[in-house]
Amino acid sequence: MAGTPSASAAAQPALETSPDARIVEAVRRGDREAFGSLYDLYAPMVHGILLARVPWGEVDDLLQDVFLVAFKRIHTLREAGAFGGWLAMIARNRAVDFHRRKRETEELPEDLAQRSSVDPEAAEALELIRTLPEAYRETLVLRLVEGMTGPEIAERTGLTPASVRVNLHRGMKLLREKLGTEKEP
């Protein structure tokens, strides 16, 4: 069980010696190419987290912001193996910050760019997913938009596989209800 002390004690060295941890250590030593590897590994996750919260047209800029913040603050990360969860938190905070600033400045309508350049059916499906509770929304976007599998989502975000499985199942059930494709059991 993930929450037990023995499990967490055993997980600690595993986190520290994971491939991600080694890449993070390399970045800390000044290896810029190593940060490129982290970008390749984690950009889909950050993209999905942002897409679940902000308009599609804003995602690319915010994604760059998230990685720049991560690069600047990588020395504040205590456990190198927890990079994924830490980065996911930066992305969520950045999305919250975006909405806070948007309220202050009252810019163009949220889905203007989306309406002009995205397939309407895709935009509609995404809008439906965005109406779901946050935990389901994020997991479903990572699965359906970014094409990540459940184990990959768990590994990247730092969530437990069980949580991801539950979120996927319940989120999909809610989405089916909204799409009107709920099947009788």
Partner 1 sequence: MNEDYLWDKSGEADPDIKQLEERLGQLRFKRPAAPLPLPAEPSTRSFRLSTYTPALAIAASLLLLILAGGLWMSLRRPASTEGEKGLATGKASEEKQTQQIVSGPRPPLDPVKPITGDMAQAESVPASASPSSAARVNRTPRRSTAPRQLMARLDGPGTESRTTNRALAREGEQAKAQLIMALQITSQKLNTVQKKVQTHQERSPIS
Site string for partner 1, 84-103 (x = CB under 8 A): -----xx--xx--x--x---
Spatial separation of the C-alpha atoms in residues 147 and 119, rounded to whole Å: 18
Spatial separation of the C-alpha atoms in residues 164 and 172, rounded to whole Å: 12
Residue 53 DSSP SS3: coil
Spatial separation of the C-alpha atoms in residues 175 and 58, rounded to whole Å: 24
Q: Is 43 in the site for partner 1 (CB under 8 A)?
A: yes
State the minimum distance, in angstroms, from the CB of residue 66 to partner 1. Answer: 9
- Among 80, 82, 168, 174, which residue sits at the site for partner 1 (rule: CB under 8 A)? 168
Q: Is 119 in the site for partner 1 (CB under 8 A)?
A: yes
Contact yes or no for 87/70 (Cβ under 8 A) = yes
Indicate the DSSP class of residue 76.
G
Indicate the DSSP class of residue 107.
-
State the amino acid at position 160 in one-letter form.
T
Please give the residue ranges that form the binding site for partner 1 (CB under 8 A): 27-28, 30, 32, 35-36, 39-40, 43-44, 47-48, 51, 56, 60, 63-64, 67-69, 71-76, 89-90, 93-94, 97, 100, 118-119, 121-122, 125-126, 141, 143-147, 149-151, 165, 168-169, 172-173, 175-176, 179, 181, 183
